[in-house]
């Protein structure tokens, strides 16, 4: 069984064939999926998707792009929503200084609320960071020194320095289709050095389709291509990659069912 730890099934790209996309994922050996929350207004839709599909679980959170619309977000709001039975993580949250779609002080304040919720609930924090390595690392290290929490560096492409800092906090790292891109040698070098028991897989669909599907809409059924690339990079067999990444995902998202 493979686990796709980051899908966006509520995205409009799946509005016409969501059911077929889910069926193809199952046929490809994806046994569990985690559909990620990007804004609180999406949360009920995610709950509905999960309620209709026992192999789909969800998170609750606000993407840094959407932080501008959640300036009054509190960690208690997140804690309350975490009580829903299908929630397994907090996020996607973090800092994105590439697009700056939300003011940076607002991004940091909203990120801090998510960190506090992860500390209070024990649920893993799903972190997005882009061109914000120093602030991301500083915020997470300072918070972790105060109270530890589980941490996932989602779709990790931020280089070896931040990876080493986050590894010291016991972070997990998820590998996406970017690892298959021809120009992603630096990303592959970091994957080769990740802690072997804290590597998990994701598609981030409908974005970042792996080779040879590059340029198409991504979907969870493409996850085996990412698993194959991780096996190549790490020198593992496909069976070993499946076992290791699935166990790592279950260790991180400990509300997921053990099958």
**Tally of residues, the chain:** 259
Predicted confidence (pLDDT) per residue in 149-175, tens digit: 999 999 999 999 999 999 999 999 999
Domains and CATH numbers, the chain: 2-252 (3.20.20.140)
The average pLDDT across 130-154 equals 98
What average pLDDT is seen over the chain? 98
**Does the pLDDT at position 147 exceed 90?**
yes
Would you tell me how many other CB atoms lie within 10 Å of the CB of residue 183?
Answer: 7
Predicted confidence (pLDDT) per residue in 22-81, tens digit: 999 999 999 999 999 999 999 999 999 999 999 999 999 999 999 999 999 999 999 999
Predicted confidence (pLDDT) per residue in 95-125, tens digit: 999 999 999 999 999 999 999 999 999 999 9
pLDDT value, residue 119: 98
* Strand order across the beta sheet in which 172-175 lies: 2-7, 30-35, 56-60, 87-96, 125-130, 151-153, 172-175, 199-201
> Predicted confidence band at 189 (pLDDT cuts at 50, 70, 90)?
very high
Q: How far apart are CA 56 and CA 51, in angstroms?
A: 8
pTM here is 0.97
Contact 78, 122 (CB under 8 A): no
Contact 18, 219 (CB under 8 A): no
**Does the pLDDT at position 240 exceed 90?**
yes
The average pLDDT across 241-249 equals 98
Locus of tokens 């016409």: 16
For 6, phi and psi rounded to 5 degrees? -155, 95
> Predicted confidence band at 258 (pLDDT cuts at 50, 70, 90)?
confident
For 218, phi and psi rounded to 5 degrees? -80, 155
32 prior amide bond cis, ω within 30: no
Contact 98, 130 (CB under 8 A): yes
pLDDT value, residue 131: 97
In the chain, the percentage of residues whose pLDDT exceeds 90 is 99
Which element (helix H / strand E) includes 126?
strand 125-130
Contact 62, 40 (CB under 8 A): yes
**Does the pLDDT at position 178 exceed 90?**
yes
**Does the pLDDT at position 93 exceed 90?**
yes
> Predicted confidence band at 204 (pLDDT cuts at 50, 70, 90)?
very high
Helix 238-252 vs helix 223-234: crossing angle, to nearest 10 = 110
**Does the pLDDT at position 259 exceed 80?**
no
By DSSP bridging, strand 30-35 and strand 199-201 are: unpaired
What's 92's DSSP letter?
E
Which element (helix H / strand E) includes 208?
none
> For the chain, how big is the Rg over CA atoms in Å?
17
In the chain, the percentage of residues whose pLDDT exceeds 70 is 100
């Amino acid at each position: 069984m493979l686990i796709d730890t980051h899908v966006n099934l509520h995205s409009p790209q799946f509005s016409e064939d969501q059911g077929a996309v889910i069926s193809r994922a199952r046929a490809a050996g994806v046994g569990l999926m985690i559909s990620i929350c990007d804004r609180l207004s999406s949360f009920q839709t995610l709950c509905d998707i999960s309620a209709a599909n026992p192999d789909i679980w969800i998170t609750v959170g606000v993407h840094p792009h959407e932080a501008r619309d959640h300036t009054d977000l509190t960690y208690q709001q997140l804690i309350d929503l975490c009580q829903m039975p299908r929630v397994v993580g907090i996020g996607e949250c973090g800092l994105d200084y590439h697009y700056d779609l939300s003011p940076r002080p607002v991004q940091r304040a909203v990120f801090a609320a998510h960190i506090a919720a992860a500390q209070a609930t024990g649920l893993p924090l799903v972190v997005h960071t882009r061109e914000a390595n120093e602030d991301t690392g500083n915020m997470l290290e300072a918070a972790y020194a105060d109270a530890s929490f589980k941490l996932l560096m989602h779709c990790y492409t931020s280089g070896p320095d931040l990876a080493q800092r986050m590894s010291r906090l016991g972070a997990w790292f998820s590998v996406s289709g970017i690892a298959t891109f021809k120009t992603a040698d630096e990303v592959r070098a970091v994957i080769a050095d990740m802690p072997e028991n804290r590597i998990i897989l994701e598609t981030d669909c409908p974005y970042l389709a792996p080779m040879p599907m590059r340029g198409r809409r991504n979907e969870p059924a493409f996850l085996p291509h990412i698993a194959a690339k991780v096996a190549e990079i790490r020198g593992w067999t496909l069976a070993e990659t499946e076992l290791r990444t699935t166990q790592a995902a279950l260790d991180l998202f400990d509300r997921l069912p053990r099958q």
